[in-house]
Structure formats: C-alpha cells, structure tokens
Structure 1
Amino acid sequence: MEKLLNLLALLLFVPAFVSSLDPPLNDDVLGLIAFKADLQDPEGKLVSWNEDDYSPCNWFGVKCNPRTSRVSEIVLDGFALSGRIGRGLLKLQFLRKLSLSKNNFTGSVNPSLAGLESLRIVDLSDNNLSGPIPDEFFRQCKSLRATSFARNNLSGRIPDSLCSCSTLAGVDFSSNQLSGPLPSGIWSLNGLRSLDLSDNLLGGEIPKGIKSLYNLRAINLGKNLFSGRLPDDIGGCLLLKVLDFSENSLSGSLPDSMQQLTMCNSLSLHGNSFVGVLPEWVGEMKSLQTLDLSANRFSGQVTDSIGNLRSLRVLNLSMNGFTGSLPETMISCGSLLTMDFSQNLLTGNLPAWIFGLGLQRVLLSENRLSGSIDSSYSTIMEVSHQNLQVLDLSYNALSGEIPSDIGAFSSLQFLNLSRNSFVGAIPATVGELKAIDVLDLSENRLNGSIPSEIGGAVSLKELRLEKNSLTGNIPIQIKKCSSLSSLILSQNKLTGPVPTIIANLTNLQTVDLSLNNLSGSLPKQLVNLPHLLSFNVSHNNFQGELPAGGFFNTISPSSVSGNPSLCGSVVNRSCPTVLPKPIVLNPNSSSESSGVGSFSPNLRHKKIILSISALIAIGAAAVIALGVFAVTVLNLRVRSSTSRSAAALTLSGGEDYSCSPTTDANSGKLVMFSGDPDFSVGAHALLNKDCELGRGGFGAVYRTVLQDGRPVAIKKLTVSSLVKSQDDFEREVKKLGKIRHHNLVALEGYYWTPSLQLLIYEYVSGGSLYKHLHEEPGRNSLSWHERFNIILGTAKGLAQLHQLNIIHYNLKSSNVLIDSSSEPKVGDFGLARLLPMLDRYVLSSKIQSALGYMAPEFACRTVKITEKCDVYGFGVLVLEVVTGKRPVEYMEDDVVVLCDMMRGALEEGKVEECIDGRLQGDFPVEEAIPVMKLGLICTSQVPSNRPDMGEVVNILELIRCPSEGQEDLG
C-alpha cells in the first residue's frame, strides 16, 4: 500500500517537474522589445535585441545583475535613437539605472517611470523632450538618487513633488526653459550633493535656508532671472566646492558667511549687479582655483589678501569699477594662469611681477595704467617666455618703446597694445613670434617702417597697425604670412606700391590701406582673392584702372575715393583710351624703299605732314564722337529692353505652375506657382513712382493688379550682380514658393532674365508695422491686443522659417506687414538664399540695412551666424512694439539705443514707464512687463543665452494664458 502511495505521488509530481524545464516568459525581454518598437534606430545599434532570445543580458547596452539575471542597467547614450520613451520599460522591475542621453527622443517625460521602485539613476539629458516635468514623476520615488533632464526643451515650473524625494543626491535640469521660482521646500533635500538648474528662465529671489544642504558639493543657478541678494546663510554649506550664480540679476554685497566656504574651489558670480568692495575675507577661501566676479559693480581697491590664494588658477575681476594699483601680494599666487582685470579704473605702472608668474593669459585692457614696459623685465621673464599666450594691454596710457625682446615670448598667440602712447619703431623681433595669430599695435605713435622680419610670424591671421606714423613700403616678406585674413594699415605715412604678392594671400578677407601715400597701380591679380570682403584704398595716390572682376565688381565707391588718378566705372571716371603710336610719313620716301611708319633723319627741306599733337587732338575728337554715339545707342537699347521685358510678362496658366514658353533672352521667363492665367505687368508698374510701395536692402517693391483684379506686390531685385545662376536662382525661389504660413508673406511667382529678376508676392493691404508705429501718430494707435497678436504672429512666422532652416537676416518693423485682419505677415525672408555664399560683412552691408536690429555676432568673425541672430532682431522688435520707440533714436546731443535704455529701466524698476503712452492704460501690465523682459532676454549679447523661436512662442502663449499651460501651442 505504501509503495502504491509513493508511486501515485511520483506520478502527480512528474508533470510539474517536466513543465518546470520549459523557459518561463521573460518580462525583461518583452519590456525591451516593446520599448524598441517605439524607436527609430538609424544606426542599427539595437540589432542584437532579438525577441526570440530567452534573456536580454547579452544585448548591446543592457546589463544584468549576475545573481538574478534580471536587467539592472540600460545605457544607450549617443545611439542616435529617436521616437518616444514608451511604457515597455515598466516591465523592468529590477532596473536601477536608465541612461538615454545624447539621442533624439521627443515627447514629454514619461511619468510612469516613477513606478519602477528600484530605479536609482535616470539620465534623459541631451534630447528633444518638451512640455513640463510631470509632478507624478517624483511622487513615487522610492530610491531615486540622481536625475538629469539637462539640455532638452522642457518648460513650466519645477514640480513641488521634487522636494519629497529625500534620497536625491544629484539633480540636473540645466539648459531648458523652466520658469517660475524655486520650489519652497527645495532646501529640505539635505541629501543633495549636486544641484544644477542653470540656463533656464527661473526667477524671483533665492530663498533662505540653503544652509540645511550640509552635504552640498556643487550648486549652479547661473543664466537665469534670479534677483535680490544672495542668501545670508550660504556659508553654512561647508562642503561646497563649486558655486555658480552667474548671469542673473542678483544685487547687494557678498554675505560675510561666504568666508566659511574654505573648501570652495570655484566661485563664479559674474554678470550680476553686486556692489561694494572686494571683502578682505576672500583671502580666507584658500581652496579657490577659479574666482570670477566679472561684470558687476564692485569698486575700491583690490584687497591685498588676494595674495593668500596660492591655489588660484583663474582670476577674473573684469568689467567692474576697481581703482588703484594691482596689489604686489599677487606675486605669491604661484599657480595663477589667467588674470583678467580689463575694463576697470586701475592706475599706476604695469607691475614687473606680472611677467614673473608664468601666466598664460594677461588681460588689462581699458584701464588707466601708465608708464613703460621696461626692457629690464627680461631678467625675470624666463618662465613667461614659455607660457604667455595672450597679452592685452590695449586702451591704457602706456608709453615708451615696445621692448626689443618681445620676440622671446615664443608661445604668444594674441598681442594687443593698441590705443596707448608707445613710440619708436616696431621691433624686428616680432618676426620671432612664430605662434602669433593676432598682432594689434594700432593707435599709438609708432614710426619707422614695417620690419621685413614680419614675414617670420608665419601663423599671423590679423595684423593691425593703423593710426600710427609708419613710413616706407609694405614689405614683400609679408607673403610668408599665408594665413593672413585681415591686414589693416590705414592712417599711416606708407609709400610705394601695393606688392603684387598680396594677391597670393588667398585667406585675405579684409584689407584697409586707406589714408596713406601709396602710389602706383593696383595689381590686377587682386581679383583672384577668393574670400575678399572689404578692400579700402581710399585717399592715396593710386593711378590707372581698377582691377575688374570678382569682388571688385561690387566694391563700394567710398573704398577707392580720394585717388584722383584712378579710373573705372566705380569711380565714375573713364580710363583714357590707349592709342597706337602716331604714324609719321616721309613724303620723299617711296613705297618701295621705306615701310609704313619709317622716318628719315636726313630730311632738311621737307616738314612732317601731321605733328604728333595734331594727331592726338584728332584721335581724341574721334573718341569723344564715338563715345556720344555709343551712349545714345545704349540708351535706346536699354529703353527697348525695358519695354520688351515688361511686355513679356504675359502668361497662360498651367497645372502645377506656369511658365512662359519663350526662350528669347529679351523676353525672359515667368513662373506663377498658382497657375493664374492671363498674368501681365505693365511697364508703368516698374517705372511709375506712384506704384512704388517701398525700397529695402534687396530692391524696390511695386503694386500692380492682375487681369482678374487681384493686386500683387512685385519686388524688383537690385542685387542682380550678386544673384546666382538661373538654375540656382530658380531652385531656391521654388523652395520659397512652397512655404505657406498665415504669418508669412506668400511668394506667388517670379520672373527671370540675366539683367532683371522680379519676385511676385501676395499683396498685404495694411502696410508695414513701422508705418503703424512711427508714421501715423495722429491716427488710432494699435491696441495692446493688436500689439500682442503682432508679436506672437511674428514669432510664429519666424519659428516656421527656422524649422525649415531659413535665417531671415533682416527682421525689422518695415518687413512685418499687417493685413486687413490686423494679422502680421513677415516678408523679405529667404532672400539671402538667392545670392551666392556671402560672409556676414557682405550680408550686413548689402542686406541688413536697419540700424539697431543687428545681432552683435555680425561684428565678430569667430562667432557662427545662426537663427539666434533673428532672435536678437525679434527681441528688438518686441521692445519697439511695446514702447513705440525706434531701435535707435537720435536726440539733440545724445543717441539712445532702445535695448540699453530698457535694461537700465529694468534695473531701476521703471519698466512700466517705458510702455507706449498711446496705450493710455488700455493694457494688462501683467502681460506687458513679461513681454518686455522676454524681449530683453532675446537681445542677450551671448547667442546661446537667447531662446529658440519655438520656445519664444511657448512663452508668449503662457504669458497670454498662464492657466492653460502648454496644451495648445501654435
């Protein structure tokens, strides 16, 4: 019986035992495959993720716990993945680390990730996530230690639930568009070691209580809108090593408690409004390696205690009001590499110890330093010879000669001694500066010649010697400086010709030789310089014909003026015709014995029939007669061509777009994107001033009417010499013709001949925003509602252009048109694409014609031009719309720049007084002031500090409807 029971038990157990041999369904595999299904993987990084695998532990980017074989880490950084972060990850119940940084994920932060109770690290930085940080994300955090959403497009406030995550040690929300104040309980996270909220739109005062973060090692609140004073108790964070509150609107003096931060090695408070003297206790912060208090309002003398900072490597006190001389105690700062005291009020001599510290960068420009750079410093410069890379002493009152041993600074890359009172000759040893990129000795009292040894500076890119008393020739040895891009020698006493070898410096972009005594003819080879943007030889003694071709076809007349013997079309002076040598015949010689042009010196009884002077007079008269005849014929041909071109603008419609069937060069080619039939433009539309609507950087605009009665605007381009080839022109115009947005002026078609290009636009009846703001003061002013809609609509139009990778370049109130419904339409966009590749200097002179709207990066050749230059122009436009003032206004004895005026008003708390008085109280202050602040943010001097236009749209809609959040973005 017992055996029977045992057998029965065995039979019952066998099925369960056998079934346990089959692999169970793996949640980790299912979750990861579901997560992958929501992704695009262009580089095939996740090809090893196979749904038929039993375990994902060998999959690329996946790590498992060796004890449980469950997924513990997913690290997919930099895989170029895109899509949304799906719910498949919720299957991974033992996941401890999720890192998806440096990809292209979109959508919002998935709040359900908080359901993963084992999750300790979440890194979603460097993606394209948008929307607010969900409050639910931090409500269920059980063991979360570190989270990073840095460098996304997140907006809204920092959720209060963050303060409930007591386990958090690291938080990084930097480089987003987060706004509002800090959560009131943020200092309760006493486990925090690192907090980075920089580069957002956070504002308000920094609350007290920060001393409770006794574990804090690093805090960065820089590049925000915080105001008020630093918390008095900040010194309670005794373990703090990195403190960065730069580029805010903080004010007041530095709290004394900061002297307790003896472990702090990096303190950055630049770009605020701190006042007072540099406290003596700063010398007690002996761990400091970086101290940046630049761009504040500190005053008084620099404290001697700064010499106690033996570990200091970077010291930046520039753009303040410090006075007196530099403290001699700084000779004890033996680790110092960078010292920047530029733009202060320092006086006294240049201390000798500066050249004995082994510094790499010395910047003392725009002070009141005097005395000479004593050549005896060579006895203590041994270390500096090897280290010094940047020396800027410009805009001071230094005098004496430039030391002859300057060439000993073998590592020097940047030397600026401009705007001082240096005398004597340029030392020949400058040729020993093999690493020098920029040499600026301009606006001194230097004399003598430019040393031929300059050719030894083979890395030289920018040479500025203008406004001195230099004599002699331009040395031909300059040909060895093959990297030279800028050569400025104007306002000296140079003589001789322009060396032909300059044409071999193919990197040249800017040349200014004006106001010298140079002579001879300009080398024809200069037309071969491929990158030339500016060439000024005005007020010299040049003669002969200007080079023809390349850059010289569009050179400004002012760049060659003041040379009476120069000729060519640019100077409106025809060159003398080169006549052959006059033929003088000997009447006594026979045709057999002497050829044409022979002359017998033995003739005594016969005279020369025609004198040389008579022949020249006859030839000149003939040339004048031919010239008059040629001009008459050309005038007739031009009139005929104009009438033929205008008459040729007649067309029948097509299916997709219409084009004229003729290929006659005189008739040109007309394309209408809408296929409108019977299109015609009379010649009067382009010649009659009554039809002209305005003129801009690209040309004049005329109004005309189609045969069906519909008006259109015709832009007649006046940059024909810069326009691309016909194929490139048509390709770009057709791209622009496909752009349709209710806040952009629609391009309806175009007309092409080699000498005439027309763009056909929809006609916007309401005129320009400029006219509404500045030219019709007597009529009804724009209401606040209309102004806000204009700002928002313009922002949406620009955002659409930037989404299509089109930079406007020329945003201004005269290029924003108002339709009959008071809706704004941005015009003149994309026209720079019709021209060849042009540098910013050509764009600024040919296209960007509106003073006050141009972003500062146009003037800096090292900063890339991006969509952010449009953002700057938009910011100026915002301030113009709200205040009713022009970007730059000229008073009787002053010039007022709108941006500067508004920043001053913001600092003084008088922003509301700047609002256009014509609104007369008919506006909500709670909207107007944030709009003006947004305009100031958009006009930040640093491009990276400006928001994108898409973010601007979001912010404006939040200002208009703060309670609706981000659900309905336009």
Structure 2
Amino acid sequence: MRPFSGMKPLLLLFAVVVLSPVLARSLNPSLNDDVLGLIVFKANIQDPKGKLASWSEDDDSACSWVGVKCHPRSNRVIELNLDDFSLSGHIGRGLLQLQALRKLSLSKNNLTGSLTPNIAHIDNLRVLDLSENSFSGDVPEEFFRQCGSLRMISLAKNKFSGKIPESLGSCPSLASVNLSLNQFSGSVPAGVWSLSGIRSLDLSDNLLEGGIPKGVEGLNNLRGINLARNRFTGQVPDGIGNWLLLRSIDLSENSFSGNLPQTMQKLGLCSYLNLHQNTFSGEVPEWIGEVKSLETLDLSSNQFSGEVPSSIGNLESLKVLNFSANGFTGSLPKSLSYCTNLMALDFSKNSMAGELPVWIFAAGTEEVSLSEKKLSGSKNIPLSSSAGNALKNLQVLDLSLNHFSGEITSDIGALSSLHVLNLSGNSLAGPIPVAIGDLKVLDNLDLSENRLNGTIPTSIENCSSLTTLIVSQNKLTGPIPAAMSKLTNLQNVDLSFNSLTGGLPKHLANLPNLLSFNISHNNLQGELPAGAFFNTISPSSVSGNPSLCGSAVNKSCPGVLPKPIVLNPNSSSDSSTGEISSNLGHRRILLSISSLIAIAAAAVIVIGVIAITVLNLRVRSSSSTTQPAAALAFSGGDDFSHSPTTDGNSGKLVMFSGEPDFSTSAHALLNKDCELGRGGFGAVYRTVLRDGRPVAIKKLTVSSLVKSQGEFEREVKKLGKVRHDNLVEIEGYYWTPSLQLIIYEYVAGGSLYKHLHDGAGGNFLSWNDRFNIILGTAKSLAHLHQMNIIHYNIKSSNVLIGSSGEPKVGDFGLARLLPMLDRYVLSSKIQSALGYMAPEFACKTVKITEKCDVYGFGILVLEIVTGKRPVEYMEDDVVVLCDMVREALEEGRVEECVDARLQGIFPAEEAIPVMKLGLICTSQVPSNRPDMGEVVNILEMIRCPSEGQEEL
C-alpha cells in the first residue's frame, strides 16, 4: 500500500472546494475589479447633474452603467465614454483597475489636475481623449513611454504647458494627435515628423517655435496638418510635396516666409490651404491651378506681389478665395468667371486697379470684398437685374475705399439676401435709393464718405435687422426720419457731418440696444430725446449742432409757454378811428375791473380745489394701506400668461406667470406692518399670494419722473424677461397714474447689509460665503451689462441673500423707467448710499457707462471682505474704506483689513487678491476699471482650491 493512498479522496475534495475559485479567478479575473475601480474613480469626481447615478458598488458588473462598454465575451470594461457629463474634480488611481480598458474619453468636462501615467494603463489604451477640460501643468516624459497600442490622443483645449514630450515621437501606432489650444512651447519633437502612420496632426493655438524640418521623410499617410496660431518660422520645405494624401493644410498666423515650394503642385487631393498672416513673398505661381481639388485658398495678409495668375480659373471646385492684404497688382483675371462654385471672394487691401467686372455679380457669389483697392468706374456699380437669381445669393458686398462714382441705383433692391453693404470711401453721388428698404435682412449699412445728397429715405424702417447704420460725411439734408425708431436692433448709428435739419424724433429713446448715436456737425435743433441711452450720450456725439439743447450739450432748453397778452394803456390811435379808440379805452377799464373779479373768483376756486384734493389724498392714502391686493383688477400683457379685463377705477395688475391673485388675508398689499425696507426708489412690502407664496412689492416714490403707462409697461416687461440665478426676478407690476408697484420674488434671507453690519450670532458670513456672494454678484452684473442694462445703484442693501446663501441683486434696471433721468437725479434720488457712487457722477463732461457699476462693485467687495461700511464716521474723523485699504496695501499690512471675525480662518491667497481686485475696480479713471466679464474671470482664477482643501 502506497503512503497516503487513502488520502486521495480528501485531496480531490480539497481541490474542488478550495482551489476551484482560485483557478477560476486566474482564468477569468473577478468582475468586481472593474466595479471597484469605477467606484473609486467616481469618489474623486463631482457629478452635479447626476449622470453617474446608475453606478452602484452593490452591482456585480459595471456593464449596464451609463458610459460603460464591456467586451461581449469577457464582460471586462473596454470603453469609458463620459463626454460632456459636466464632471469636475481629479482623476484618481481607480481606472488602473480597468486592465482591459481600450478607450478612455472624458472630453468636454471640467476635470482638473496634472497628467500622470497613473490615470490608466496607457500601454493598453488605443484611444485617449481628455480634450476640453481644465488639466494643467507639464505632460511628463514618461507618459508616452509605453504607448505601443495608442492610435488616438487628444489633449486639446486644456491648460497644459511646457514642452511636448520627446516620447510622443516613439508611439508607432499613432494615427491622430491633437494638442491644440494649450500653452505648449519649444519645438516639435523630431520623432513626431517621422510618424509614418499618422493621419491627423493638430498643434494649433500654442506657443510652439522652430519650423518644419527640411529633410522630413515621414508623415506619408498624413491627411490633415494644422500648425495655426503658433510661432513657427522658416520656409516650408520641399518635402511637403511627398505628403500626397494631404487634404487640409493650415499654417496660418505664424512667421513662415519665402516662396511657395513648387512640390506643392503634387498635392492633387488638397482641398483646404490656409497660409493667412505669415510673411510669404514672391508671386503666386501658375502651378497653383494644378491643385484642382482646392475648395478654400487663403493667402491673405502676406507679402505676395505681382499679378494674380490666370490659371486660378482652373480651380473649378474653389468656394473661398482670399488674397487680401498683399501687394497684388494688375486687374482681376477674367478666368475667375470659370470658378462657378465660388462663394466668397476677397481681394481687399491690394494695389489692383481697373473697373469692377460684371461677372462678379452673375456668378452667384455670396461674399464679395474688394475694399482698399484702386477699382474705379465712371458709371454706376454694375448691379444688373439681368443677373437674375445670382444677385439674390449675395450676402456681403464690401467695395469701400475705391474710386467708384455715379449713383446707387434702385437695382440694389435685388440683393434681397444682403447682410452687409459697405460702399464707404468712394465718390458716389445722388440720393440713397428708396429701394434700400427692400434689403430686409440687412444688418450692416455703411455709405459714409461719399457725396450722397437728398434725405434719408423713410423706407429704411423696412430694414428691421439693421444693427449698424453709418452715413456720415455726405451731403444729406432734411430731417432724421421718425421711422428709424422702429429699428429696434440698432446698436451703432453715425449720421455726423451732413446737413440734416429738424429735431430728433422722441421715440428714438425707445431703441433698446443703442451703443452709439453720432449726430455731430449737422443743423439739428431742439431737445434731445429723454431716456435710456440719450441720458448718457457723449457730448462729442452731439457737438456742432448750435440749436440743440439738453444736458449733453450743456445748454438748457427754453420753456414752452404761451405768449402773454399785453395791453398798453398809453398806445395812441389814428385820428380816423377816434370813436373806436374811445370805446376801446372804456372797454379797457371794464376789462381791468372784470379781470380783477375773475382773478379773485379763480383764486377762491383754486383754494377750494386744493382743499378737496388734500382731503381726497388723505382718504385715499388711508384706504390704500388697508386695501387688500385682491381688490385690484387684473390685466395680462402681450406675451405673458394672463389677460383678463381691467377695471379702470382700480388700476392694472399684470403677473408674468402663475395666477394673478393675492391673498385676502391679513397681509394687506401696502400694510405698514409688512414693510421690509426703504430705498432710493421707494418702500418694499411683503405680501402673500393665494397659493401661500410670498412676494415683495416695491412702491415707487418717483412717480413724477415715471414714463407714461405704455412706456412704463414696456420697460417693466423687458426687465421681467431678464433671468439670472443671481438676480431677483420681477414677477409683475401694478399701474395707476398716481401709483406704480413692481412685484418681485421674495428673498427670505434679508439684505447683505444686515448680514455684514447687523449680523450678530447666526448671521455670521464665513469666507466661503463671502467669496460666493462676490462671485455671484459679479456674474449678475456681467449678465446685465451684456443686455445693455446699467444698474446704477449697486450697494449691500440691494444684494439679498437667498435660502441657500446665494446672492440675488435687486433694483436693477429701474433707472430705465425714468425719462428725466440724469446724473443729478441719480445722485440725489437713486444713488442714496454714500461711498458707492463713481466719481464721474460729479463731472458733467464724463459719460456714465457700465464702469459706474464696476466702481460700486469694487466698494462692495471691500465692504464684504473687511466687514466695514464704505464710509465710517468716528468721533473726530471720517474713514473712507477704499482709501484705508489702499493705504494698508502700500504699507504691507493689507491682511489686517480683513474682517476681524474671520481672523485665522480665511485663506490669504484668496482674500488679498480679492481686495486688490476691489481696489482696481475703484480706479478714479473709468477706462482703468475692468469689465464685469473680466472681473468674473479673475475671480474664477483666484478660486482654485488645491486637492483636498477643506471648505472654510
């Protein structure tokens, strides 16, 4: 009997029970490795939209999870696609567990941190796409050391810097490389130019230097190369002609020089060639006509010279041709008429001459730019109706700064698709044709610096898309047509240096998007329109009109009063009318006595009316404080949700959404007990809707300045459409001639002022709270400025704190309701808080712009960080906050300015830059202050917490 022979059954049982799982694990690795790795990855990621909600550590497999793809047989994770999931945070080491991963795509998120080989098994990956995130730092040399399987790598649109790793050139399987839109510097590794399998190479928008090596032999499979917007220099080598499969070449905005290499004529498949803004020179060779697949040819902004080769007419596929800003001479080659697919043609800024060829307008081209040449024509611009539908395709026509003469004919109306028309700087004469009104999609019209005469046609009102209208430096006469006030998209208008007469139509003040309106050096008269843009118009934009009046020209307008009737008792009469004179003298005495009686009677009546009015006002005032909102009549408005009838005796109430009804409970509409506060525009009350939702109601106390009902309603409805997370929403309004109310969402947290200065106990604001309030307020002001709305009254009492601690800015846009608004009204009635007001309010000659909000925001920032009021009154001194902080900064003790309640618990690396930003915003010179959009970007750069930093 052999030793242990009786033990065989036991060993067999042991093998089955104990070793089988081990053997199975070695043959088929546990699926839980992938689950574990992805859960660890998720733990380091913020997922605000809950895209990864389906990922659960309780699952046995990850194959059903969003963004995950598994191998059909092994069930191992082979692809992870989380593009555009709004993820943020860092990539940890969890993905190292995914040993079968072949594709990792995390593009279009907000992931941060640096790039290390530990993000995944690079040696197994075939696709790695980390584009459009916020990764930063250098890419380490070892990252591409094991990249044998890698076919596609994209790090585009991040914040990577430093040199491109040399190891990238040792990835033999690479077919696509995209490192664009980063800050890579130095030269391109030599190995990259030898990657024989690469098809697409995009290194654009970096800081790369050097050039394309002369002896380049690789890249034989290259289909597209993009080196645009770098610092490359040198000549393009002849070797580029060996890249026979090239379809797209973009070398634009570099410093390449020399002639075009003759070998490029072999690139018969190339459809896109962009050499814009380099220093290429010499003539464009005739062989360019051999590259017959070209659809886009852009040689603009170089130093090419000579004539345009006639062979260019062989490019039958050509769609875009741009030879602008060179030194070309001669005339446009007639052969271009054979390029029947041409959509955009630009030969502007050259030295070409001759007449404008008719074929340009018969070819169906969409964009034609021939500005700053020496083209001429004694006849009219050759727009002919015989061109038929071809003219209807034209969208851009720029013939500016040439020598065209003659008239603009009514044929211009055939250009029905035209968006841009620029005929400025020529010698065109005659009137602006009425047919200009047929260009209904025109958004940019420039006819300046010509010899045009006659009036501005009223048909201009049909150009409803117009944003820019420039007809300056002509000989135009007559009035500015009232029809212009219908062009609500207008942003820039220049009518200067003409002979226009009459007054400005008042309805021009209703144009909501105006940025500039220059009417200087005309013969206009009367008062400028009141309201919106015209309250802050630059004096230089209205100068040279002696009969204009208003604050912008520093000339008061005469009052419009009836002429008094004066009877002279000493006047003599002709002898032949003696009898009549005698009677008149008698009547004169009677008239005087009766006049005295009438005046006395009128005085009694006036006194009576005043007494009755005062009594009525008292009765009405007492009833208004107890009248519930349910007694108001309702009326919807235009595109808003409700439109019941209006009771003329009780006023008009409009709610922009929801049921237009208030509760009839004890919360009366203007009950003194429900008053929340008072400001420059009026008192604010709290009341409750029928559904139990509270709202805030502002009773305007500037009724004497408020516009008419129609204008008031239009402005409030516009403000009601303004939506932002950090703005208090306007929910409706109420109108009577003597009472105007604006209905807001109710923000329960109270004002920032109370939290900062009355904030004992629970109202304490942490540093994180304060930073978020600063950032949110900045975003709200940037949003308002994008919509051309100036707040005018930014201060801590107008910043409310929401239930989640978020800031909500109120009282925005109310200045638009006041047509009589000027800087003095702002100073006294609206900008009531001392210390926030920009210095330009005290200067008549400085234009009030969005920069006044930037100043007020800067003061607000300092107030939030220091916890001090803008102006503090001491027993024997007055302390101005911005001066105090500036002095402390100069003396190197700025940290002492931080609110004492935050001492020891605030990050100096954030607080100090924020205070410096506040000081920059309070510069005395408006142009030195940043825009609010720039302020938001700076704040977001300041708030860059390192990994693992705890929230203060």
TM range (shorter): 0.5 to 0.7
Provide, for residues 224-255 of structure 1, a one-character-per-residue CA deviation record: whole Å limited to 9, x for no partner. Answer: 11111112211111101111111111111111
Partner of 2:103: 97
Deviates more, 1:724-733 or 1:253-262: 724-733
Partner of 2:927: 848
Provide, for residues 313-361 of structure 1, a one-character-per-residue CA deviation record: whole Å limited to 9, x for no partner. Answer: 1111111111111110001111111111111111101111101111111
When normalised by structure 1's length, the TM-score is: 0.62
Partners of 1:187 and 1:210 within 8 A in 2: yes
Correspondence 1:86 to 2:92: yes
Partner of 1:928: none
Question: Structure 1: which amino acid aligns with 2:583?
Answer: N
When normalised by structure 2's length, the TM-score is: 0.63
211 and 867 in structure 1: CA distance in 2 versus 1, 3 angstrom threshold: farther
Could you say what secondary structure the match of 2:86 adopts?
Answer: coil
CA apart distance, 1:733: 2.0
Correspondence 1:603 to 2:584: yes
Question: Structure 2: which amino acid aligns with 1:299?
Answer: S
Equivalent-residue separation in structure 1 for 2:912 and 2:337 (angstroms): 52
Deviates more, 1:357-366 or 1:565-574: 565-574
573 and 242 in structure 1: CA distance in 2 versus 1, 3 angstrom threshold: closer
Equivalent-residue separation in structure 1 for 2:169 and 2:243 (angstroms): 18
Equivalent-residue separation in structure 2 for 1:370 and 1:583 (angstroms): 64
Question: Structure 1: which amino acid aligns with 2:160?
Answer: L
Partner of 1:522: 527
Partner of 2:684: none
Partner of 1:409: 415
Could you say what secondary structure the match of 2:355 adopts?
Answer: coil
Match of 2:81 among 75, 81, 95: 75
Partners of 1:248 and 1:272 within 8 A in 2: yes
Correspondence 1:146 to 2:237: no
Correspondence 1:312 to 2:403: no
Partner of 1:704: none
Question: Structure 2: which amino acid aligns with 1:193?
Answer: R
Partners of 1:749 and 1:761 within 8 A in 2: no
Could you say what secondary structure the match of 1:178 adopts?
Answer: strand
Question: Structure 1: which amino acid aligns with 2:99?
Answer: Q
Equivalent-residue separation in structure 2 for 1:296 and 1:401 (angstroms): 35
Unpaired runs of at least 5, structure 1: 533-550, 589-598, 612-653, 660-668, 672-712, 741-745, 769-798, 807-824, 835-845, 859-863, 872-947, 952-970
Match of 2:251 among 241, 245, 252: 245
Match of 1:831 among 913, 922, 927: 922
Match of 1:15 among 14, 17, 29: 17
Question: Structure 2: which amino acid aligns with 1:527?
Answer: A
Correspondence 1:161 to 2:167: yes
Equivalent-residue separation in structure 1 for 2:548 and 2:194 (angstroms): 78
163 and 411 in structure 1: CA distance in 2 versus 1, 3 angstrom threshold: same
Equivalent-residue separation in structure 2 for 1:752 and 1:559 (angstroms): 42
Partner of 2:723: none
Equivalent-residue separation in structure 2 for 1:310 and 1:354 (angstroms): 15
Equivalent-residue separation in structure 2 for 1:186 and 1:160 (angstroms): 8
761 and 394 in structure 1: CA distance in 2 versus 1, 3 angstrom threshold: farther
Unpaired runs of at least 5, structure 2: 571-579, 593-753, 760-794, 798-834, 892-908, 944-952
| 1:424-443 superposed matches below 5 A | 424-443=430-449
Partners of 2:524 and 2:548 within 8 A in 1: no
Question: Structure 2: which amino acid aligns with 1:255?
Answer: P
729 and 364 in structure 1: CA distance in 2 versus 1, 3 angstrom threshold: closer
767 and 739 in structure 1: CA distance in 2 versus 1, 3 angstrom threshold: closer
609 and 751 in structure 1: CA distance in 2 versus 1, 3 angstrom threshold: farther
Question: Structure 2: which amino acid aligns with 1:214?
Answer: N
Equivalent-residue separation in structure 2 for 1:37 and 1:390 (angstroms): 53
Partners of 2:517 and 2:541 within 8 A in 1: no
| 1:234-383 superposed matches below 5 A | 234-372=240-378, 374=380, 377-383=383-389
Question: Structure 2: which amino acid aligns with 1:428?
Answer: V
CA apart distance, 1:91: 1.2
Could you say what secondary structure the match of 1:294 adopts?
Answer: coil
Match of 2:478 among 472, 482, 492: 472
Partners of 2:523 and 2:545 within 8 A in 1: no
Provide, for residues 722-776 of structure 1, a one-character-per-residue CA deviation record: whole Å limited to 9, x for no partner. Answer: 5999999877524235669xxxxx99954699x99873244569999xxxxxxxx
Matched positions, count? 670
Provide, for residues 606-650 of structure 1, a one-character-per-residue CA deviation record: whole Å limited to 9, x for no partner. Answer: 988999xxxxxxxxxxxxxxxxxxxxxxxxxxxxxxxxxxxxxxx
Partner of 1:122: 128
Correspondence 1:29 to 2:35: yes
750 and 727 in structure 1: CA distance in 2 versus 1, 3 angstrom threshold: farther
Equivalent-residue separation in structure 2 for 1:573 and 1:472 (angstroms): 23
Equivalent-residue separation in structure 2 for 1:257 and 1:826 (angstroms): 55
Equivalent-residue separation in structure 2 for 1:18 and 1:128 (angstroms): 47
286 and 802 in structure 1: CA distance in 2 versus 1, 3 angstrom threshold: farther
Partners of 2:503 and 2:524 within 8 A in 1: yes
Match of 2:137 among 131, 138, 159: 131
Match of 1:50 among 30, 43, 56: 56
Partner of 2:883: 760
Partner of 1:788: none
340 and 329 in structure 1: CA distance in 2 versus 1, 3 angstrom threshold: same
CA apart distance, 1:827: 8.5
Equivalent-residue separation in structure 2 for 1:311 and 1:725 (angstroms): 50
Partner of 2:841: 719
CA apart distance, 1:715: 11
Equivalent-residue separation in structure 2 for 1:747 and 1:264 (angstroms): 66
Equivalent-residue separation in structure 1 for 2:326 and 2:853 (angstroms): 55
Could you say what secondary structure the match of 1:391 adopts?
Answer: strand
Partners of 1:748 and 1:760 within 8 A in 2: no
Correspondence 1:736 to 2:862: yes
Equivalent-residue separation in structure 2 for 1:11 and 1:180 (angstroms): 67
Equivalent-residue separation in structure 2 for 1:726 and 1:459 (angstroms): 31
RMSD over equivalenced CA pairs, Å = 4.5
351 and 757 in structure 1: CA distance in 2 versus 1, 3 angstrom threshold: farther
Equivalent-residue separation in structure 2 for 1:162 and 1:848 (angstroms): 46
Partners of 1:39 and 1:83 within 8 A in 2: yes
Correspondence 1:398 to 2:408: no
Partners of 2:862 and 2:882 within 8 A in 1: no
Could you say what secondary structure the match of 1:215 adopts?
Answer: coil
Could you say what secondary structure the match of 1:225 adopts?
Answer: coil
CA apart distance, 1:716: 8.8
Partner of 1:903: none
Equivalent-residue separation in structure 1 for 2:46 and 2:450 (angstroms): 62
Equivalent-residue separation in structure 2 for 1:577 and 1:379 (angstroms): 54
Could you say what secondary structure the match of 1:46 adopts?
Answer: coil
Partner of 1:624: none
262 and 716 in structure 1: CA distance in 2 versus 1, 3 angstrom threshold: closer
Could you say what secondary structure the match of 1:407 adopts?
Answer: helix
Could you say what secondary structure the match of 2:365 adopts?
Answer: coil
Equivalent-residue separation in structure 2 for 1:511 and 1:33 (angstroms): 60
Equivalent-residue separation in structure 2 for 1:752 and 1:564 (angstroms): 47
Equivalent-residue separation in structure 1 for 2:203 and 2:582 (angstroms): 98
Equivalent-residue separation in structure 2 for 1:276 and 1:727 (angstroms): 53
Equivalent-residue separation in structure 2 for 1:389 and 1:199 (angstroms): 30
Partners of 2:114 and 2:136 within 8 A in 1: yes
329 and 568 in structure 1: CA distance in 2 versus 1, 3 angstrom threshold: closer
Equivalent-residue separation in structure 2 for 1:475 and 1:578 (angstroms): 24
Equivalent-residue separation in structure 1 for 2:461 and 2:332 (angstroms): 36
CA apart distance, 1:564: 4.5
Partners of 1:431 and 1:455 within 8 A in 2: yes
CA apart distance, 1:292: 1.0
Equivalent-residue separation in structure 1 for 2:142 and 2:550 (angstroms): 75
Could you say what secondary structure the match of 1:405 adopts?
Answer: helix
